Amino acid sequence: MTVAAQVLDINDDLPIRTDKPVHSGKVRSVYWLTEEDSRRLIEEKGYDVAPDAPLAIMVISDRISAFDCIWHGEQGLKGIPGKGAALNAISNHWFKLFKDNGLADSHILDIPHPLVWIVQKAKPVMVEAICRKYITGSMWRAYDKGEREFCGIDLPQGLTKDGILDDLLITPSTKGILRGIPNVPEADDVNITRKDLLDNYQAFNFSSANDINTYESLLKQGFAVIDEALQKVGQTFVDTKFEFGYVTDAAGKEKLIYMDEVGTPDSSRIWDTQSYQQGKIVENSKEGFRQFLLNHFPDPDILLNKERMPEREALARDNELPLEEMMKLSQTYIQIAETVTGKSIVLSNDPKQEIITVLAEQYGLID
């Protein structure tokens, strides 16, 4: 059994019954179930959703995305062994902890396989919310160049690289290209202020202006829950991204939920606490892989400059990354997942066939 065989890279070609095109993102593919199958599963499994709610199968891959490109390694390695299972396990853990703490539900209804979620359709809020407890990365680079205002919030003088902030900082940005919003450029991933959200809440898909307060509360409480849990296992929660949406439950009530993934090494920075206290940054997140790429190629500007995207895509397409680096990242994902969840991540020898078998035998979704 080769390591490459344990990687699920192509995840949009499974024979899952669907009457819509499969949506394939950088890492996850989404199969919308037929109306008949959605209704059947809601009834059979007792999901707490409206009887006519559209359901989907979400399959995570082991592909590795960084700087908006998909990378591959030597010996035919098209992803990172264990990455998909690690990301799902961490998200599942935090979503459950949020629910246990009375915060909010997630879009996940069922987990048939370590690489698969059954999800309900949500109306997404068009905001990516970054919560920051420390100043590092792109924010530090901007601060170091003299910027002091971030998303309408003024930062004080005298902050140091990788230092803790006085308060948890919420720096929202647009999700996708939004048009016709005053003071908000029509581009993806544009920083916005709280005032932008309040003044144009409907344009960002919020149902009411008051939901801005709910969203901020869920951000802070969610961050605090993960932060506290990570402290107990010797990890420092640096920053993370949250995404939200609306769903309707079985009683017909609309509610704001967490969606996408949460608190993972892909959507967060997580540092080893002991090393940080000794003045050294040890990344337990994808950030270490990003730093490797910046050091690996002679011209890092290709990776940082959005105007050089064709060159960046060529780098990702034409370069096999060292097997050692791919496996080092595999260890990072698996170790942080096992640290967070307290459970082993078991690699599958044939992930695609496993998924097909479970969806056929237990859910009746394979043609």
Domain boundaries, the chain: 4-122+342-361
> Where does residue 162 rank: exposed (0-12), middle (13-18), buried (19+ CB within 10 A)?
middle
CA 344 to chain centre: 21
pLDDT tens-digit profile, the chain (367 residues): 688 889 999 999 999 999 999 999 989 999 999 999 999 999 999 999 999 999 999 999 999 999 999 999 999 999 999 999 999 999 999 999 999 999 999 999 999 999 999 999 999 999 999 999 999 988 999 999 999 999 999 999 999 999 999 999 999 999 988 898 988 888 888 899 999 999 999 999 999 999 999 999 999 999 999 999 999 999 999 999 999 999 998 888 999 999 999 999 999 999 999 999 999 999 998 988 999 999 999 999 999 998 999 999 999 999 999 999 999 999 999 999 999 999 999 998 899 999 999 999 999 999 8
User: Alpha-carbon dihedral of residues 42, 47, 50, 54, nearest 10 degrees?
Assistant: -60
Residue in 80, 93, 88 with CA at minimum distance from that of residue 116 = 88
Considering the entire predicted model, what is its pTM?
Answer: 0.93
pLDDT of residue 216: 95
Strands 108-113 and 28-32: unpaired
Is 271:336 a contact under the CB 8 Å cutoff? no
| Domain 4-122+342-361 sits in CATH 3.30.200.20 | yes
Specify the pLDDT at position 1.
Answer: 61
pLDDT at residue 112 in the model: 97
